[in-house]
Structure 1
Amino acid sequence: MSYAFPPGGLPRQDADPEGASVFTTAYALIPASVQRDIVTSFLPGWHNARAWILARPMSGFAETFAQYALEIDPEGGSDSPEPDQDAQAVLFVAHGTVQLSIGSERHDLRPGSFAYIPARAPWTLWNTGAEPAGVHWVRKRYQPVDGITPPDALVTHDEDVPAVPMPDCDGVWATQRFLDPLNLAHDCHVNIVTFQPGGRIPFAETHVMEHGLYVLSGTARYLLNTDWVEVGAGDFMWLRAFCPQACVATGDAPFRYLLYKDVNRHPALAI
């Protein structure tokens, strides 16, 4: 199994600068082709690492989360990765090997590894391999609820989480839910959604959840608001609440993406 990650580098001078990036009031499309060296950030507390910051809270757009593609060189990493004590994290390893410590527990992660890290949990992350490691990182401030115990940490792997087919789709549309969807302790989910070639979302979903969608593999035609766009491995789609979406998987390989959404909480009535 392979998982896409920003290519870095810089296009040749004879490349077409027009590109396919789109930013609208309803969605943004950040293609893999523009995820290059000169748009990375270096972060306090991190050593020999850089990040493509693909989404951050923006007033009037998507407000609940930030999403990074984090590249960590050999022996790079952090003993203080998270500056916000109220932030929870999801990590998904695209390539390379890293060691994650959550409290006193250590976990050796490889491509396809998934980790959920609760807010206020001390954690560290270091590259233990000889090659750079690529890690997708989603951050969200946890919303506690009286009477509900916050969730525990979880470390698992793509291969160990079954894909659950959606109803009435003959198995061509399935979701791997790394976190229990019935557990109200969680206020967000990060899943992998897979469509077999020709599979589709057969209606224009229009809902309150914000989305970050990083395409891990395959290709599709994706509806974003009123626009059908062609997307493929490494492309990132960022959807604000109520942006209509649908898709049709194209090509001859499965179309898979890492999906963030906020769930299980009342909307705030004060803005």
Structure 2
Amino acid sequence: MTYAFPPGGLPDQSANPEGTAVFTPAYAVLPAITQADIVTSLLPGWRNMRMWILARPLSGFAETFSQYAVELLAGGGSDAPEVDEEAQSVIFVASGTLTLNIDGSTHQLAPGGYAYIPPDTVWTVWNDGDAAANFHWIRKRYVPAEGVEAPSAFVTSEKDVAPTEMPDCNGVWATTRFVEPTDLRHDMHVNIVTFQPGGRIPFAETHVMEHGLYVLQGSADYLLNKDWVTVGAGDFMWLRAFCPQACIATGDAPFRYLLYKDVNRHALL
């Protein structure tokens, strides 16, 4: 498996500045080329890190989550990565190796490694290797529900989770679900969606869930609201609630993306 990550760098002076980035009231597209060195941020309390903030709550747009792509150089990391005790996190490793400690338990995460970290949890993350370690980090404030206990931390890997084929699609569309959909402890899902070449979402999904979609591999034509856009590895799509969406996988390789959505709670009034 390969897992895309922001390329960094900067296009040379021959590049046409008119690109394919889009921001609309319904969706945004941040192509990989826009994820350059000059848009990175640093965080207090971290060492040898930089990150791309791909999504953050915006009033009237997507309001439930933030999504980062974090690069840790050798020796980089933090003993206090989270500053919001109500925030839960998902970490997904794109390259390199992370040493993740959650409430005293230490885990080594290789590419494809996945961790869920509940709110109000003591955790640390470090790169103890010689090469850079790159990971995707999705954060959401947890919404408690009466009579439902908070979820527990867990660590796994994509290679250890069997994809679930979607119905009536002859196996060309599958979802790797790291959390059981009926587990009401969880109020967000972060999955990997895979389409074989030519596979598609055969209708314009229109629903309350917000989305962050980071393309890990392959290419597709993606319907966002009324617009078809061409996306590939490293591109990020950001959708507010009820934005119609569909896709058709193109090229010879599977089209795969990391997908965030909010689930399993009342709509706030």
TM range (shorter): over 0.9
Please name the residue that 1:242 is paired with. 242
Q: Match for residue 101 of structure 1?
A: 101
Partner of 2:151: 151
CA distance in 2, matches of 1:100, 1:237: 28
| Separation (CA, whole Å) in 1 of partners of 2:237 and 2:12 | 25
Superposed displacement of residue 128, structure 1: 1.4
Q: Distance in 1 between matches of 2:183 and 2:255?
A: 28
The residue aligned with 1:266 is: 266
- How many percent identity over aligned positions? 69
Q: What is the rounded CA distance, in whole Å, between the counterparts of 1:73 and 1:57 in structure 2?
A: 28
- Give TM-score, length-normalised by structure 2: 0.99
Aligned partner of 1:168 in structure 2 is 168
Q: Residue 221 of structure 1: CA displacement? A: 0.2
CA distance in 1, matches of 2:46, 2:139: 16
Correspondence for 1:205: 205
Q: Give unmatched runs, 5+ long, in structure 1.
A: none
Note the C-alpha offset of 1:158: 0.6
Compute the RMSD of aligned alpha carbons. 0.5
- Give the C-alpha shift of residue 93 in structure 1: 0.2
The whole-number CA distance in structure 2 between the counterparts of 1:250 and 1:39 is 29
Aligned pair 1:8/2:15, yes or no? Answer: no
Give the residue type in structure 2 aligned to 1:89.
S
Distance 2:69 2:104 in 1: 26
Extract unaligned runs of 5+ from structure 2. none
SS, match of residue 212 in structure 2:
strand
Partners of 2:262 and 2:171 lie apart in 1 by 25
1:186-220 superposed Cα distances (whole Å, 9 cap, x missing partner): 00000000000000000000000000000000000
Distance in 2, Cα, partners of 1:47 & 1:75 = 7
Residue 186 of structure 1: aligned partner = 186
Matched position secondary structure for 1:38: helix
**Secondary structure in 1 matching 2:131:** coil
In structure 1, what is the Cα distance between the partners aligned to 2:148 and 2:133? 36
1: CA distance, partners of 2:267 / 2:123 = 30
1:131 aligned residue: 131
- Runs of 4+ aligned residues of structure 1 deviating over 6 Å after TM superposition are none
C-alpha distance after superposition, 1:26-56 (max 9, x if no partner): 0000000110000000011211101100000
One-letter code of the match for 2:242?
Answer: F
Letter in 1 for 2:55: A
Shift of 1:7: 0.2
Shift of 1:129: 1.1
Partners of 1:107 and 1:120 in 2: CA distance = 19
- 1: CA distance, partners of 2:44 / 2:224: 34
1:62 and 2:62 aligned: yes
2:122 corresponds in structure 1 to 122
Whole-angstrom distance in 2 between the partners of 1:29 and 1:104: 39
Is 1:29 aligned to residue 25 of structure 2?
no
Deviations 1:161-205 (A, max 9, x none): 001000000000000000111100000000000000000000000
